[in-house]
Amino acid sequence: MSLHPQCAFFLAEAAKENLPPMPELGPHGARLIGHTPREFSGPLRDDVKISTRFITTPTADVVANIYQPPGTGPFNGMAYFHGGGWAFNYINKYDAQLQDLAARTNSVIVSINYQKAPEHKYPIPFDDCYTAFVWLHEHAAEFNVDTNKIGIGGDSAGGNLASGVAHKARDVNQHPLAYQMLIYPCNGLDFETKSYLDNADDYGLTRSNMQWLWELYLNGSQDFNDPYAVPLNATNFEGLAPAILFTAEYDVLHDDGVLYAKKLSDAGVPVIYKDYPGMIHGFFNYGSVIDEGIAARTFLVDSINQILRG
């Protein structure tokens, strides 16, 4: 399918700003330009309460948003990890999406503003996210959450973090994980895939951006075979939680997602997968200008509810 007209318009408007490439902006510059209005992802709801807590991780007290749907429960649960190349973005950019997912899956969602690279390289962001998942289990009674129905989710770098957390949850085997929701995850270091080459430039997230972001996050080759850091390089996919995964056609990360879904499926992990033709990386966050950004929530909601119904 050709590039969706709404995606083409979005990219054309972004090009008018004539911003330098992300590596030239640097982490601080990229963070500064990322402060879009909360409503950019779509309208906010008035029936899902948002509160703020601090979660003590191995290296800091980290702020988190708690999204609580109406009613008294019992509720399902989700720990969510936002995108932004491990280096930028923040939790309030996801208020619209997570309010909607909380209401429609009857889930209390904890979204942690994990510490960012390069000031905090792997494993610090990962440790923050795993701690948020454990924190939700340990505080389940406070929120009337069923500990057998707690999942994790994330988009882009957050999808990478969620994939890694799923591996650790299986390995540690102390807290049940109901599902992993992976939105165009960046899970591998192969920059020669077809999608990396075909979509290298002109579609928002570029190949050179991803190479730079990986360099910011990892400590070098010592991390390449760590499944929590680079999940596509894992050697064991058996016993992982059921996965919900979607990709975008015009995204350098498209083939990362396809290959990860295949590795999960080949290992006997249930996978619900969907590709979004004509879409670009990040469209989940652009609901006010790209309709599919909001429509994709229905796929996620239906998939989560299907898994939790068993």
Q: 112 near 55, Cβ under 8 Å?
A: yes
Instruction: Lay out the sheet containing 107-112: strands in order across.
Output: 49-56, 61-68, 107-112, 75-81, 145-155, 180-183, 243-250, 271-280
CA distance 214 to 122: 10
For the chain, domains (ranges, CATH) are: 5-309 (3.40.50.1820)
DSSP symbol at 182: E
The amino acid sitting at 160 is N
Contact (CB, 8 A) for 260 and 187 = yes
Q: What is the pTM of this model?
A: 0.98
- pLDDT computed for residue 310 by the predictor: 83
Q: Are strands 61-68 and 75-81 parallel, antiparallel or unpaired?
A: unpaired
Dihedral Cα 307, 245, 235, 190, nearest 10 deg: 180
Q: How many Cβ atoms are within 10 Å of 232's Cβ, its own excluded?
A: 18
CA 120/CA 117 separation, integer angstroms: 4
**One-letter amino acid of 239:** G
Query: Greatest CA span in the chain, whole angstroms?
Result: 50
Neighbours of 61 (CB within 10 A): 9
Residue-by-residue DSSP string for 53-70: EEEE-SS-EEEEEEEE-S
- Check: CB of residue 182 under 8 Å from CB of residue 260: yes
Q: What is the pLDDT along the chain (310 residues), one digit of tens a residue?
A: 899 999 999 999 999 999 999 999 999 999 999 999 999 999 999 999 999 999 999 999 999 999 999 999 999 999 999 999 999 999 999 999 999 999 999 999 999 999 999 999 999 999 999 999 999 999 999 999 999 999 999 999 999 999 999 999 999 999 999 999 999 999 999 999 999 999 999 999 999 999 999 999 999 999 999 999 999 999 999 999 999 999 999 999 999 999 999 999 999 999 999 999 999 999 999 999 999 999 999 999 999 999 999 8
**What pLDDT score does 62 carry?**
98
Q: What are the catalytic residues?
A: 156, 251, 281
65, two tokens: 């948003």
Kind plus residue range of the DSSP H or E element containing 248: strand 243-250
271 neighbors 208 (Cβ within 8 angstroms): no
Tell me the two tokens of residue 261. Answer: 């879904």
DSSP symbol at 209: H
Could you give the residue ranges of the DSSP H alpha helices within 17-84? 22-32
Q: Please, is 292 exposed, middle or buried when counting C-beta atoms within 10 Å of its C-beta (0-12, 13-18, 19+)?
A: buried
